Structure 1
Amino acid sequence: MKTNIYISKIILAGLFCAAISMSSCKKFVETEPYSYFTSANFFSNEDEAYLATLGIYEVMSRPQTYGQSIPMLYDNDTDISQMDAAITADAFRAIPHYYGTAETDNFYQTWSSLYTGIDRANVVIEKIPEMPTYSSGTQAQKDNLNRMLGEAKFLRGFYFSELVRFWGDVPFKLTSSKAGENFKVERTDRYVIYEQIFKDMREAAALLPDKLPTDERINKWAAKAMLARVALMAGGYSLRQTALMERPANYIDYYKIAQQEINDVINSKLYKLNDDFTKLFKNQCQFILEPTENMFEVAFFSNLGNSSENSLGGNFLSVTTAQGVYNASLGRGRALRLFYNSFNPKDIRRDFSIATFRIDATGQKVQLFTARLDEQWTSAKWSREYQTDAVTERNTTSINTVILRYADVLLMRAEVENEINNGPNSLAYEAINEVRRRGFGLNASGSQVSITLNNAGTGYTSMPVVTVTGGGGSGAAAGVTTLASGRITGFVTLSAGWNYTSAPTVTITGGGGTGATATAALVPKATADQVNLAGLTKDQFFDAVQKERAFELNFEGTRRTDLIRWNILAARIKKTADDLRAYRANYAYPAGTFFRTGQHELYPIPLNETDVNKIVGQNPNY
């Protein structure tokens, strides 16, 4: 359920208005910096320290960060997905299609937001130790303030890691901004910054609670898990100022850092996978927190549906939907046809993650298999079918953005153990197989179904509607693709569904004809022996990890970074472009045209920054 961290913006806005005597709150919010918190009349008690700490979190809830840009634009286009393939000047297409420039405004909005978060964290890190209760308060007060200090240190490290992820070497500042300060600074090497990130996150983990959270505030284990992810990024390849992809000679040391943190998280025994992969995302759409799997997530909420307080995820990354039974959705996040084809059909993640249909105003699923309609297949994890349909969620939604799941921790363990031990050991196999068993539904009740056309009927003049009901499960759907001489000549299963305990009923109605019938049958699940990996070489297992991260984490903001740190982004984009052209010569895939090796592994330093800070420089080939 939604908790008080969601209203941090409202609290902060009210705080700003109440903190000083001014005739216009709007004027104050527009003109006064967050460094107001550095004044002597703040940090006088725990409540004020808490509000300042919430202000650090608030940066993540902006459209410029996790409300849209970071998970939706900066993670496309890859070998599994792309933003819709139109070529326009809109930033939401220019950035993922690799023709964004230093002038593209989203880059500066993200850059400046992350630095705002860092500056707010610096304020809290400086001010909390100066509070009298920090040193002389009750133990409960000290613990509470130390938790906030830990949150500030973690979030500072996290925001720096995001800057490094997208821009490489960046300006580095560990003190709060002061009036008259010189902000024209050179960039610092990313590995100097990495060392501070590790320090911040380790110190944070020592201060944060070791219990499962009841809201979206970070805890000890999530901090450790994020440290592991950052360590893998540091141990991977990145684009240097030489325009070459390089990794450190001691990269294995970073894998060992990740290994220790991952072991700590798993050994806490607090985390587990939801047995039902589909339920994890349905709960997310209904604002139900799952702290045992969703370890680190960004809070969104707006009673008024304001885009600045909500996320675009439930719209951009939903099934294309017409306004009617459900709220409309743009369906901008497109799944590539060849990625869909790479799934095992018995992997329930395929049909739950990828929509091969659109939803019309009546709530019916309409097939997207004919002609070039498969280029319109979308992400389906956050379908409007699972959302609240509240009026306030028509354009943006209050669905949280999950940054890190326990499934990711397991897959990181698989990758790390394989690399450190020069091949997979038992820990690596168990980690990846735990994710795979859930993905194939082995731990959940029920099965998928197959749907077969039995009678083509007669007299059809337009496409009839196929409806699947009953059977105890959900998600199964089929559609008619072609008609000839009044008969159904093309019929396709759109989704095999999940959790069916008996065969559902299939009905075919409308279209002006009669007599067409279809039946559904339960599909036996894959066996554990078919799902569990075994007997692989190091390279084979690494290839399996790469695929499994795509099957499990698609549209969750990690793919592009994975391909970069593995030094295969350029090769995968070329191969994807070639394979798509072989599949269909005119399949639209802009990345194949615009991506440039030695440039697009990083984003350009924003023009707004380079205009005022001439010594910051620019990334290669921009």
Structure 2
Amino acid sequence: MKKKYFYKLTFIAGAGLLLLLGGCKKFLDQQPITEVSAEMVFKDVPSTYKAIAGVYSRLVGDAGFGIRLSLYYTVDTDEMQGPTGASDNDRRDIARYIATSTNAQLTNPFNQLFTGIEYANICIANIPKMAMYNNGSEQEKKQLRRMYGEALALRAQYYFQAIVNWGDVPAHFNPASVDAATNPFPVRTDRDTIYNRLLEDLKTAADLVPWRNEVAGIGDQIDERLTKGSIKALRARIALFRGGYALRKDGTMKRGSDYQTYYQIARQECSEIIASAQHSLNPSYKALWKDQVNARAVADPNGELMFQASGIGASGAEDTKLAYYNGPTVGSFGNKSINVLPNYFYLFDSTDQRRDVTCAVYNVAADGATKVGQAITAIVDGKYRRDWITNPVVAPTNAVQYFGLKWQILRYSDVLLMYAEAENELNPAPTAAAFNAVNQVRRRGYGKPINTPDATVDLPSTLDKNAFFTAIVKERSLELGGEGVRKFDLIRWNMLAAKIAETKATLLAMSNLSAPYNTLPIAMYYKNNSTADDATLWANSFYKTAPTATPAGTTKVTWFSAAINTTALSRYATGFTTGKSELNPIPQPARDANFNLSQNPGY
């Protein structure tokens, strides 16, 4: 791109923050700022609040966690796969690891992440310069310091998403108006260098932002904005990725020899969150999703939902298509484009209550209530469901596609599991603290009292270091399934290729009814006119051979069959190539705009 056009775009990006309507949710709704000078925007707490709302806003929309970052880029894994249909140089190709640099679904998310970085940079550059930042009232200073910390953390989140999807990216830590004059066409910076900067930024941010119970004390509302626990959790996550494997520019998966340094950071941050007692698990896994997330609740008594991307506006700019693109259909509405893989369904024990939340084994009739059971090849992810939405309910005849649901970026259960993983990595054997952290998650998942040891669900205390890690790999899948975490976990563990191969072998065995799958039902029978949203919809067990005759009052669904091969396996991760598919290609329009952007290996 010619330099004059770059400068023009730079000005537009910078001015865009000041012109935003602003807002991720009701608590961030603002009137538009019409002035474009920094002095007018960063003049007091209310105006700066609007600017921070603009930074948050880039988390969502169609190009953000509204659909692409959350649902297009996170499959195919050993849990979920993307939509049916032929290759399209679009969303299906991304899911199947056959995307090219000209895929139309890559450019806008790439650009939006860097727009978010730019908006954050403008806040980071200007908030500390405000007279009120150092000379205002104590309340004003605390509020502005919080917003400065939020901007640092949001920039880290945008960079993290850019890195896990595209690897090394240009480093922009100043507003574009500053960098454009000296380095208008930056090269890609090694991700470890960027991660190191982000970890330092987040350390600073955590000191500036209050804990949940301190928010009201500084004069802010208790809402969905980042708090100290959220930022510490994000720092822990990024530390684990800094210490994990990644696809390097030479086409190999590597991690640094100093990786344990970053596990120590993760352990420390998670330990401090746990010790703070500011966050806890909702006692019911189903209530967390049905009565909290899908009920569009504002209050979160447990503080389990630590970092959320909130949708608003019922449009592609700042809302989400959660429960429309994915989840069960209601009548003719919905896409049901994320399918649960049969092997993942059977990763759950029969008494694990997370299965019937994560895996929705029905669609909904046009009345909005009656459930229609589905074959195992057609079940969908269930944490976002149109039929669960309340406050208010979405009518079954309503054709709206944007529901204002929040994508969950970080939950407290993830903190417990990150702590257990880091603690295990840094010790010769799993410690009592590591067992306790993961067992809290397991107990909740099985509907048991969270803080009461229970031999029926707790991990065996005899597990050694390697076996405990294997248990963590499984537990993170059971707990966080369908939340966009698995693919990137497998990459940082250097396990994605192996898990994809293992999944393909399992799907083939299932389609052939080979042992141990020959004792599972080839038919399931759902109850007619039932409104049940869990296993009670079905008249027989998922784990035992089927009845020889159709039970009265039920409808038969072919469950296990060769269709597992023809409908699931045939499209699953078809283009995955080790040393290439761990990253997306850099979008060609970005490379056209910056001739110094190199391409990722294999593309």
| 2:457 aligns with one of 528, 531, 544 | 531
Are the equivalent residues in 1 in contact too, given 2:66–2:407 (CA < 8 A)?
A: yes
**For residues 249 and 544 of structure 1, what CA distance do their matches in structure 2 show?**
24
Q: Is 1:96 aligned with 2:95?
A: yes
Matched, 1:215 2:223: yes
- Distance across 2 between alignment mates of 1:230 and 1:145: 25
Q: Does 1:602 align with 2:601?
A: no
1:131 aligned onto 2:130: yes
Q: Secondary structure at the match of 1:314?
A: coil
Q: 1:119-198 to 2 correspondence within 5 Å?
A: 119-178=118-177, 181=181, 182-198=183-199
CA distance in 1, matches of 2:252, 2:371: 47
Aligned CA RMSD, in angstroms, stands at 2.1
The structure whose Rg is larger is: 1
* SS in structure 2 of the partner of residue 593 of structure 1: coil
The one-letter code matched in structure 1 to 2:394 is: A
Q: 1: distance between equivalents of 2:173 and 2:55?
A: 15
Going from structure 1 to structure 2, the CA distance change for 1:37 and 1:269 (only over 3 Å counts) comes to farther
- CA shift for structure 1 position 84: 2.1
The whole-number CA distance in structure 2 between the counterparts of 1:381 and 1:44 is 42
Cα separation, 1, equivalents of 2:43 and 2:423: 48
TM-superposed deviation, 1:37: 4.9
Q: Does 1:243 align with 2:261?
A: no
Gaps of 5+ in 2: 1-21, 216-221, 512-564
What CA distance in whole angstroms lies between the structure 1 residues aligned with 2:506 and 2:24? Answer: 46
Q: Which amino acid aligns with 1:600?
A: S
8 Å contact kept, 2:23–2:30: no
Q: Is the 8 A contact 1:84 1:376 kept in 2?
A: no
> Contact 1:8–1:54 at 8 Å: present in 2 too?
no
Matches of 1:530 and 1:410 in 2, distance apart? 20
Residue 439 of structure 1 aligns with which residue?
A: 445
Alignment of 1:66-85 (within 5 A): 66-85=65-84
- How do 1:141-540 residues align onto structure 2 when only pairs under 5 Å count? 141-178=140-177, 181=181, 182-212=183-213, 214-282=222-290, 283-288=292-297, 289-290=299-300, 292-302=303-313, 305-323=314-332, 328-362=333-367, 363-369=369-375, 374-388=376-390, 389-390=393-394, 394-443=400-449, 528-534=454-460, 535-540=462-467
Of Structure 1 and Structure 2, the greater strand share is in: 1
User: Shift in Å at residue 176 of structure 1?
Assistant: 0.5
C-alpha distance in 1 between matches for 2:171 and 2:364: 47
Q: How far, CA to CA, are the matches of 2:365 and 2:122 in structure 1?
A: 50
Query: What is the deviation of 1:361?
Result: 1.5
Against the structure 1 CA distance between its residues 308 and 541, is the aligned structure 2 distance closer, same or farther, given a 3 Å change threshold?
A: same
Letter in 2 for 1:420: L
How high is the TM-score relative to the length of structure 1?
A: 0.79
Paired with 1:381 and 1:156, the residues of 2 have a C-alpha distance of: 27
Please say if residues 156 and 200 of structure 1, whose CA atoms lie closer than 8 Å, have aligned partners that are also in contact. Answer: no
Consecutive unaligned residues of structure 1, counting only runs of 5 or more, are 20-35, 445-525
Return the offset for 1:63.
Answer: 1.4
Task: Answer whether contact 2:89 2:99 (CA < 8 A) is retained.
Answer: no
Give the number of aligned pairs. 509
Say which SS state the counterpart of residue 274 (structure 1) adopts: coil
Q: Distance in 2 between matches of 1:73 and 1:277?
A: 25
Q: Does 1:564 align with 2:570?
A: no
In the TM superposition, residue 582 of structure 1 has moved relative to its aligned partner by: 2.1
Please state whether the residue corresponding to 2:456 is helix, strand or coil.
helix
User: What code does the residue aligned with 1:397 have?
Assistant: F
* SS, match of residue 261 in structure 2: helix
State the shift of 1:235 in Å: 0.8
- Partners in 2 of 1:117 and 1:413 — Cα distance? 29
User: Closer, same or farther in 2 for the Cα pair 1:578/1:37, shift >3 Å?
Assistant: farther
The aligned counterpart of 1:455 is none
Structure 1 CA distance for aligned equivalents of residues 86 and 419 of structure 2: 39
Q: Tell me if the contact between 2:336 and 2:380 (Cα under 8 Å) persists in the aligned partners.
A: yes
Shift of 1:400: 0.8
